[in-house]
Amino acid sequence: MVSARENERYLPGVRLPERLKIRALGGRDDQFHRADLVFIAVPSSGIDAALAELTRQGVAGHAGLVSLTKGLVPPDGTPPTLALERAFGPQRVACVGGPAHAREMVEGGAGLICASHSPELAERVARVLRAGRVVCEASADPVGVELAGCAKNAAALAAGATESQGLNAAGMAAADIFGEVLALAELNGGSARTFLGRAGTGDLVATALAPSSRNRSAGELLAAGVPASEIPERLGQAVEALETVPLLATAIERAGLSAPMTSALARLIEGSLPLDEWVALVRVSQPATRRRGGGRMAAWWRRMRARLAG
């Protein structure tokens, strides 16, 4: 990328501005300490490594840290913003969601949403993106935005895994999983309105229609019998849903909620549930209802955010 001034593998033909400096992470002159905003655009599995490097390099005390990740951090299923908040505090952390397919974003813009516990930071990031001809609204619901992105990826994977059995079945699978993750978001303070907006349904529609959707394509490969471990190499890119779905299933169960379809999709990913049994479950599933008496995960999440805020 340094010599060619473009990402020849993922975005060929789009030349990067000459004023944009490109460096490999870990160089001695990264100069994160001079940045006003640090955008973290790595797969969820790379969040810890990125955090370690940012901590080692040092980040300016006034700088905002913005997660572009749509997944959960393994092995505990930690939301990326919460991982960042542990290191830098909730008022310095934001996340971005919404439909943002790379080539279309370069050529015609995108419709995004930036969320933070700090209204000032959310609006600051939104202004920066608007300056680049990107429509971006500010939100105070990082929980909703992050989990809506997770729900979108999981729903797209489920639809892809079921599409060969008919569009109705694919729609049922996507809707049920979307609803299960929404219940988790609401329990942890997220808003259903966020799920109904750009971060959720908007991003899901864009993913469902995109010919190059990684998560939907990964679902199609699962349905064709390709092991989950081989799919990223087949597609040539990371597939967030393959790692996020099992973490989501565990988080939903810990919260005392019912997650039959998310759990079944996790088993399909790990290879313990045959495709025909997955399809049979989809066809007879009923929307999940909340179980009373749980909530350990929700209580932990609230305590952690309160501790960071204090």
| Span 20-50, pLDDT tens digits | 888 776 655 567 778 899 999 999 999 999 9
Whether residue 70 lies in the annotated active site: no
Band of pLDDT at residue 116, cut at 50, 70 and 90: very high
Region 72-94: mean pLDDT is 93
Residue 161 has pLDDT above 50, yes or no: yes
**For 128-150, what is each residue's pLDDT tens digit?**
999 888 899 999 999 999 999 99
Q: Report pLDDT for 29.
A: 58
Q: Is the pLDDT of residue 181 over 70?
A: yes
Identify the pLDDT of residue 294. Answer: 45
Of residues 245 and 303, which shows the higher confidence score? 245
Tens digit of each residue's pLDDT (9 = 90 or more) over 247-304: 999 999 999 999 999 999 999 999 999 999 999 999 887 765 544 444 444 555 555 5
Query: Which one of the listed residues 124, 152, 214, 305 is annotated catalytic?
Result: 152
* pLDDT beyond 90 at 61: no
The pLDDT value recorded for residue 305 is 52
Predicted local distance difference test score (pLDDT) of residue 252: 92
Write down all domains in the chain, each with its CATH number in brackets.
32-140 (3.40.50.720), 144-298 (1.10.1040.10)
Q: What is the pLDDT of residue 25?
A: 64
Three-state helix/strand/coil letters over the chain: CCCCCCCCCCCCCCCCCCCCCCCCCCCCCCCHHHCCEEEECCCHHHHHHHHHHHHHHCCCCCCEEEECCCCCECCCCECHHHHHHHHHCHHHEEEEECCCCHHHHHHHCCEEEEEECCHHHHHHHHHHHHHCCCEEEEECCHHHHHHHHHHHHHHHHHHHHHHHHCHHHHHHHHHHHHHHHHHHHHHCCCCHHHHHCHHHHHHHHHHHHCCCCHHHHHHHHHHCCCCHHHHHHHHCCCCHHHHHHHHHHHHHHHCCECCHHHHHHHHHHHCCCCHHHHHHHHHHCCCCCECCCCCHHHHHHHHHHHHHHC
